[in-house]
Structure 1
Amino acid sequence: MLTLRRANDASVKVIRVWFVAVRTGADKVDGTQTANEGFESASYGADEALKRTTFRTDRELIEAAVELVRLIPLIQGVEGSFEWREKEGTPSQNALVQQLGRKVVDGDFKAILCSPLAAYEKELIHLLMAANWTGPDLDFAPLSLLDIPVEKQTLVTEETLQRKAVAELAWAGEPAYHLARATFLFRLAQILLDLPYHHARSAGWWRLRVWNVHAQLLDEPVAFPNAALEDVERDLADEPDLVGQFWLERGLLEHRQSNDRAALGCFVRAARATGLRYELTGALGRRTKFQQTDLTQLVLLAESRIRIEGGVEEKGRKSKDGEGDEASGGATRGAALELTTKGLPETLALNDDTLLEHTEFTSSNPAALGSHLGHLDPSNQPALHPLDQCILLSLCLNVRNTSPAHGLTTEQMTPYVARVISHPENWSVHTMALLLRSRLEAHRTRTVERSTLQLQALIDQMPTDDSTPAERLRFLHALPLPSKWELERELALHFLSLGVVKSALAIFERLEMWEEAVRCWQATEQRDRALTVVNDLLAGRRAEAEAVLVRGKANLDAAREAKLWCLLGELEPERAREHFERAWAVSGETSGRAMRSLGGYLFARDEYAEAARCLRRAVAINPLFSRSWFILGCACSREEDWEGARVAFTRCVTIDDEDAESWNNLASVYLRMDYVPGKNVSQTETSYKDKEASLKADRAATIPFENQMLAFRALKQGLKFHYENWRMWMNYTVVAMNVGELAEACRALGLGSESVDADVLDRLVDAATRVTLDEPGSTVASPNEGQNLVRRVDDLFVRVLLPRVSSARIFRAPLEAYLEGYRAGIAGQMEAGETDVERWREGVREVEEIYYVLVNHGPKVEGSKWRLQARSIVRTFMGRTKDFEEEAEWSRLVGLLEDLKEGGA
């Protein structure tokens, strides 16, 4: 019989059932009947007494025993305190449960799993995370925990269990990483936690943790079911740190599903629960060694609430105005919160001849007036509690800016990371902080070397035993710390961005990440090599994991095989449709990747109805891919399925509310759809093909007013994130006029329109001349009427229109402005030797934009040498960036030069 060694408690039947399911191929295990039938059908010779034992009753007894004492580690996992407290009136004979709790904290996996009474599923999760996230390497084989009869050893092996678990962990068509260690134990924990719990109030929280871990095992993010976890928070109301950690972990799950707004709300609630106070402000200081003048530098002021021994919160001292004010000494941790921090990850020095190691603040007070943390010295802040450090690191994940190229994102995130690095308190927390710093420094020439070396050092430390498993696992659930393979993948991608393709390829091949390996082969013009490897994998001629004993194609689960067929379709465009359809069939019609790829393939070939059908299947499987929703919206628009397009673009902006293009397309759909709730409005005569044309005022009557207002709001939202898009401004001008927002039409006509719309201008003049001027002293609230409107129209003429109309510079001025903007942008300042491909692609877009400005408006400027200017700009940019000739966008630059030649340049 399959058992845990020395296990004699009835609870281990649940674990045995999992192995029975693996052996017999049962799809689901639940309840007493399934458990007993599984044992009998497998003929494992279980004794009659064990068969007669009621499974659910035993489990309830175990739950009651585990939850009888106040074991914080059973909620906090290994992050718990060493303080073991019993509830009032609890008998002391539950020493066994307390001993097991201590073993959980100590990370003594084998002792826990071999104990007669344990919360097995919790420790199985920790074992997986130790093996794949924090290290050190396990000192025993997971299969050694099991007693396997000799006659069954050839059937039940670690490889067979691993393969079965990886296949079952595939979710929404996304495969799980097949080289993760001890995956079958995690799958076992998942099965146990799916069972009903009647006494263990922390079960919901552990399910949340299972989803968090599961999300990191998958290749792409997927949507997981929402859990009703409010009861968990209510049960923990007297434990502020537990409430804070609960919301922190929930926020991390939201973040991994790209729900950044919801994640930020959870992180803020976590900070409020733990009593963390923080403020991003400025203080005088110096950043370079040769800086003579003190300048305002960004700094994060942060302070933990005071904690004293035993976990009892100490109230802050009262300030003179009566407000609560914790002492500036910060977090005072006693024995209950102390863990040894020896063997912390190595923090590499910058060793730069210009930049200082840390910002040197010369002012002891922050620059912000009325700051609640003004008593803190920016250069000498108190240490933070490790949980509060976790919250700060998670908060900086949501610092975003509408123009990341401006560098504000990095500048805002750096103070968060620096605040945590300055006081290392825990191995995992410090590792995460160093990783974030490495990412921030990866694109700066003065810091890129340390970024690479630091990332390599973090990977090298994983298998060492320089710190205890207890410390490494203590805050792991509260951190966005990537797994070992994700860290190595990140290093390989970093190598790839630096042009070190061979080193990146070696890592991808070792990790068996074939999609990334194919990119490397294509970058080195080895497409035949990529085809050979993918075909060999599919045909079973190439074994993947070296540790796998059972070779051949049988090692491929359906999700991974479908992904390989998709990859083959991308490598062989001439047979792409055949390969994508094969991937869909192989996966049992569960591969979202196959339908995404096929939908994109069909859309590119103008088969919009078929593309929409495929993309609808893709988003039904995994709705988190905004690009799939976007292409679906475009396909529906081409088919004039306006309701389908509205749904698709609405989902796009729901996933990413800064997607300006989707906001613009959504507005366009509103102006073309004839759907009004409760009404049947006649179809507008406007077709999709004239989308780029201005919407004329005489067509406004055919568009429902409700739809026009929705379009106005959508365009207004989109312009917040794409302020320089003049086409959106033109659309916004016309729609604003149609809905009566005359002041906004004036503003848009002056700000964004490249040319003046005569119809809109006539209507504005007509509205301004027909209004009755306000009586002296009267107040008109609306900007769309009275003196307010007259003032705006007058300003539009004086400041914007008259300089254009009364001068020969009407076209020359925009050309000169565009050229100045180009010279100050990325493309104008890019030099030879650039390695950042994303920066180069942005430069290509800027070159195309200035090219079309010159082509469209150059001929209207007398004496303009616009052809020579356009050709010179494109050639200069191509000459400086020859290293990117292999990129797909290079052909667009070549096309621009050919267009100039065809035009007689």
Structure 2
Amino acid sequence: MSYLRPLILSESPAEGSGNTIADLIINGKLPEAHKALSDATDSPETDLLKAAALIQSFIQVNFTGPQIDGLIPENTSGYTQKDLSASNEPANVLTKAAHLLVEALKLLRALVEKQEGELQSYSQWWLTRALVIQQSLLFADASEIHDSLTELFPKFKKLVESDSELATRYYLEKARSELMYDYDSKAEQDLKLGQNASGLLLSLTGFMAKRTKFQTVEHPVLLLLAKSRKEITASGEEIQLPEALPLNSDLFLEKPLYSAMEGEKDPDSPFYRKIDPGLQDIDPNAQPPLRDIDSALLMLREQYIRQCQATDAPFVKEELSAYVQRLIYAPSCSVNWLLFSRALWERSVLESDSPKTVERGILQMQALVDELGHSAMTYIPRLEEADKAEEEKLASPASRLRYVHQAMPLPSWSMDALLAEKYLSIGSLKTALGLYERLQMWAEMAMCLAAVDKQEEGIAILQKHLDENPDDARGWSVMGDITLKPEYWEKAWKLGKYAPSKRSLGQWFYMPPKGVERNLDLAIKHFNESLHVNPLHLNTWFLYGCCGLETEQYELAAEAFTRCVSLDETDPKAWSNLSTSLLRLGKKTEAFNALKKSTRAASENSDWRIWANYVTVAIELEEWNEVLRGTKNIIAIMGEKEGEKAIDVPVVEALVSILVTTEFPRAVDGPDGEEIAPRLSFFQKECIDLTCNLIPKLLTSNARLWKAIAKVEIWRKRPWAALECFEKGFRVYTHSPTVQEHEKVFADAVEFLGELCEAYENFGEMEGRNGGEVCPDWKYKCKSAVRVLVGRGKNYWEETKAWEDLMTLKENLPK
């Protein structure tokens, strides 16, 4: 019976025993497999191979892809999805080629009942595989499948007693079935036995690492060290794997850059790493390739962690990420297609929940669904003439199926449903609509239809569903969301205390439609009742807090926004509103601390209003370093779009006034007699950068700012630069038509001219930048400047006081 082993063990296409149905299926030669199924002789051995072939074909059609329509046995028996139901639990209506699995189950049950010995044991093993696949098609656990699996696994355990390779697969598949029924402790035990049989060395530990491109200080992160029992190297042959999309981030590295902790190998060091000696010498940035069965074990352990712990906890996310990254960052072409794609999928699920990585996460999910060949929606339509070339690049069915029984079943529709949910979460409603329609998820479809102006169609679909399921609280709430009729939300609340219905009622009174009176007290009441049922809904806390601010219930608002930031520390608006609430309560220091948190989050979201609030409070607290920091950030955010409008002139003038009251540091002589440049304080350095580097790049029509910059240059003992600033400020007036249109502008120009002439007189004879005088012909330039303004103001302002001041200035010019 050696030819049966490749059905379970096959590590590579080269393994097997000649031209058997097992080898044909594993190697992906589907036309030959189809022919073998049709022409197979009637014998127990052939029936087992045929059952295995049917199972693999069913899995390819519904789980791994690519589609093989026309290459599988026709459904002559008339089997449908109903024949796959168990314990009155129906199979998903989207199940394709149901007859393949039904016929395989019939063959295997007959073999288990009639045969004995090794053939019976292998039949039992394949029957457990078929039953696990059947369970994955159902909406809930089926007791009859559960009982069958519990009974079957011990019966063929004798196959693995003296074979570590078989033992590894046995324990992994047993753990997989236990995870399906939430037997976490049993699954943990079998995973440990599988690891012992495999010999995999494994340790989840901490390493210092950099995660961003500009990070200078390393921080500890979780890392999974893993090494197979046997030393293996990548074969070098080209293996088609799903494309791992790049992160394309200006901030984050594609993968963490690890460095070893000092003293990790010294037992007397506090950093000593207590791990298996076989893992001590592993380079965390280039871990060795793993055997594929060991990669399958890691993915099952990741699934175990996901089921046992709260996946929204940061530490758990870090742990899950460590497991999937061990496969994704393995040496090129050293991981099986199915296992690599599953790792990419799990990483995408984690990343799609973070605003920093959501784009890569969702696009990666779509790419994986597309490669399976199942999805009705593709993110990027392919050109028809390129389809064949694209298909040739796809991984072979053999690589997709080789470890499918050691991984958690993931039907194509479950992937589509999660993808639709992610698309809906980012606002891609039409894409989600197409997916929900295909998946027959009526409530979600109705919401999507309403969002794309097909409300009546969505209502009709949902009403039909509610007629058949009148106790569906969620359905009634969705009906209220579509029709905007509060009675539906009230009904949903009465039926099942459905929190979203109260959220909708709160929003109804907070932002009512036309013709409905706004009632913040009722909005607060409904939000409060909703939060008693589900206190983890961030948006409800935010609106609840907004109601508190608008009704001047600042204690309520402070509590609400405190809950917001506890749920999401990266929400800058919540931090900013918390600061506002605390300010109204007279807690300025606490408010400023909240604004600091807000600005840390806002640095990535580029919200200038938060920085403006930050500057305002910092001025009140006389935190001038923070005023300076906030002003620079506002300019960085708005400068390119708004130009000099992004500059708060009074704030800059206040900063300059503080700067020039400090003493400019002098250069000192070094030990070798060389002059050492003066050391500026942080405030001095940053204020010079703001006024002399950032602001001049934006200035076009604001003479006040040129005057402020000139003050800084005078303080820096750079008279030539100060004089240039005065000249540029005066040109703002002479080049502007408003000097002839508004008396106030002309008066300001005369005043600025007086300061310019004074600057010529004070700085003209000083030493210039490169020696000599700053402006040897300063008297001539004074007269020229006066003549220019006289020419601009004549015939416009000759009867005004500003004209008299200009004439006085002209008469008092130095001869």
TM-score normalized by the length of structure 1: 0.47
**2:400 corresponds to which residue?**
472
Name the CA shift for 1:429/1:573 in 2 (closer, same or farther; >3 Å). Answer: closer
**1:375 corresponds to which residue?**
281
Alpha-carbon distance between aligned partners in 2 of 1:249 and 1:418, rounded to the nearest angstrom: 23
338, 345, 354: which one aligns with 1:435: 345
CA contact (8 A) 1:103 1:111 kept: no
CA contact (8 A) 2:296 2:339 kept: yes
Name the CA shift for 1:193/1:452 in 2 (closer, same or farther; >3 Å). Answer: same
SS at match of 2:39: coil
| AA of the residue aligned to 2:348 | S
Q: Deviations over 1:811-837 (max 9, x none)?
A: xxx999989964751278645699xxx
Name the CA shift for 1:362/1:457 in 2 (closer, same or farther; >3 Å). Answer: same
| AA of the residue aligned to 1:72 | R
324, 328, 331: which one aligns with 1:421: 328
Shift of 1:285: 2.0
Shift of 1:442: 0.8
Q: Is 1:396 aligned with 2:329?
A: no
254, 275, 279: which one aligns with 2:203: 279
**1:504 corresponds to which residue?**
432
**2:126 corresponds to which residue?**
206
CA contact (8 A) 2:85 2:91 kept: yes
Q: Matches of residues 161-240 of structure 1 in structure 2 within 5 Å?
A: 161=78, 164-195=79-110, 196-199=113-116, 200=119, 201-223=121-143, 224-225=146-147, 226-240=150-164
SS at match of 1:486: helix
| AA of the residue aligned to 1:459 | V
Name the CA shift for 1:527/1:381 in 2 (closer, same or farther; >3 Å). Answer: same
Q: Deviations over 1:819-875 (max 9, x none)?
A: 9964751278645699xxxxxxxx9xx9xxxx9xx9xxxxxxxxx999xx9xxx9xx
Q: Matches of residues 248-397 of structure 1 in structure 2 within 5 Å?
A: 248-306=172-230, 330-331=231-232, 342-363=239-260, 368-372=272-276, 373-397=279-303
Q: Matches of residues 785-804 of structure 1 in structure 2 within 5 Å?
A: none
Percent same amino acid at aligned positions?
26
Alpha-carbon distance between aligned partners in 2 of 1:821 and 1:402, rounded to the nearest angstrom: 25
Shift of 1:264: 2.5
| AA of the residue aligned to 1:386 | D
Q: Deviations over 1:553-603 (max 9, x none)?
A: xxxxxxxxxx993389558759x9xxxxxxxxxxxxxxxxxxxxx999877
Shift of 1:485: 2.0
Alpha-carbon distance between aligned partners in 2 of 1:819 and 1:518, rounded to the nearest angstrom: 32
Q: Is 1:132 aligned with 2:33?
A: no
Name the CA shift for 1:487/1:572 in 2 (closer, same or farther; >3 Å). Answer: closer
Alpha-carbon distance between aligned partners in 2 of 1:202 and 1:84, rounded to the nearest angstrom: 16
Alpha-carbon distance between aligned partners in 1 of 2:236 and 2:51, rounded to the nearest angstrom: 25
26, 29, 42: which one aligns with 1:105: 26
Shift of 1:389: 0.6
Q: Deviations over 1:516-549 (max 9, x none)?
A: 324534677966433423677x8xxxxxxxxxxx
Q: Deviations over 1:114-146 (max 9, x none)?
A: 2324222111110011112121221515454x7
Shift of 1:295: 2.4
C-alpha root-mean-square deviation of aligned residues, in Å? 4.4
Alpha-carbon distance between aligned partners in 2 of 1:249 and 1:599, rounded to the nearest angstrom: 42
Q: Is 1:458 aligned with 2:368?
A: yes
Name the CA shift for 1:485/1:823 in 2 (closer, same or farther; >3 Å). Answer: closer
Name the CA shift for 1:112/1:490 in 2 (closer, same or farther; >3 Å). Answer: farther
Deviates more, 1:179-188 or 1:272-281: 179-188
CA contact (8 A) 1:531 1:571 kept: no
Q: Deviations over 1:150-182 (max 9, x none)?
A: xxxxxx58xxx2xx4211212334321222221
CA contact (8 A) 2:153 2:174 kept: no
**1:566 corresponds to which residue?**
469
**1:825 corresponds to which residue?**
566
Alpha-carbon distance between aligned partners in 2 of 1:530 and 1:599, rounded to the nearest angstrom: 18
Q: Deviations over 1:608-658 (max 9, x none)?
A: xxxxxxxxxxxxxxxxxxxxxxxxxxxxxxxxxxxxxxxxxxxxxxxxxxx
Alpha-carbon distance between aligned partners in 1 of 2:246 and 2:115, rounded to the nearest angstrom: 53
Name the CA shift for 1:102/1:391 in 2 (closer, same or farther; >3 Å). Answer: same
Larger Rg: 2
**1:532 corresponds to which residue?**
460
Q: Is 1:495 aligned with 2:415?
A: no
Q: Matches of residues 46-195 of structure 1 in structure 2 within 5 Å?
A: 68-76=1-9, 82-84=14-16, 99-107=20-28, 108=30, 109-117=33-41, 118=46, 119=48, 120-140=50-70, 142-144=72-74, 161=78, 164-195=79-110
**1:665 corresponds to which residue?**
none
CA contact (8 A) 1:432 1:480 kept: no
CA contact (8 A) 2:369 2:416 kept: yes
Name the CA shift for 1:491/1:564 in 2 (closer, same or farther; >3 Å). Answer: farther
Alpha-carbon distance between aligned partners in 2 of 1:332 and 1:288, rounded to the nearest angstrom: 30
Give the paired residue count: 474
CA contact (8 A) 1:282 1:368 kept: no
Name the CA shift for 1:100/1:510 in 2 (closer, same or farther; >3 Å). Answer: closer
SS at match of 1:431: helix
SS at match of 2:427: coil
Q: Deviations over 1:314-341 (max 9, x none)?
A: xxxxxxxxxxxxxxxx3358xxxx7965
Deviates more, 1:449-458 or 1:222-231: 222-231
Alpha-carbon distance between aligned partners in 2 of 1:603 and 1:362, rounded to the nearest angstrom: 53
CA contact (8 A) 1:260 1:398 kept: yes
SS at match of 1:283: strand
Shift of 1:467: 1.9
CA contact (8 A) 1:287 1:358 kept: yes
| AA of the residue aligned to 1:474 | R
SS at match of 1:359: strand
Name the CA shift for 1:865/1:567 in 2 (closer, same or farther; >3 Å). Answer: farther
Name the CA shift for 1:604/1:285 in 2 (closer, same or farther; >3 Å). Answer: closer
SS at match of 1:343: coil
Name the CA shift for 1:573/1:411 in 2 (closer, same or farther; >3 Å). Answer: closer
Alpha-carbon distance between aligned partners in 1 of 2:493 and 2:561, rounded to the nearest angstrom: 38
SS at match of 1:530: helix
Shift of 1:430: 0.9
Shift of 1:69: 3.2
**1:656 corresponds to which residue?**
none
Alpha-carbon distance between aligned partners in 1 of 2:23 and 2:309, rounded to the nearest angstrom: 48
Q: Deviations over 1:371-394 (max 9, x none)?
A: 212121211211000110111111
Name the CA shift for 1:245/1:203 in 2 (closer, same or farther; >3 Å). Answer: same
Shift of 1:220: 3.6
Name the CA shift for 1:865/1:432 in 2 (closer, same or farther; >3 Å). Answer: same
Alpha-carbon distance between aligned partners in 1 of 2:216 and 2:236, rounded to the nearest angstrom: 42
| AA of the residue aligned to 2:292 | P
Name the CA shift for 1:571/1:275 in 2 (closer, same or farther; >3 Å). Answer: closer
Q: Which is richer in helix? A: 2
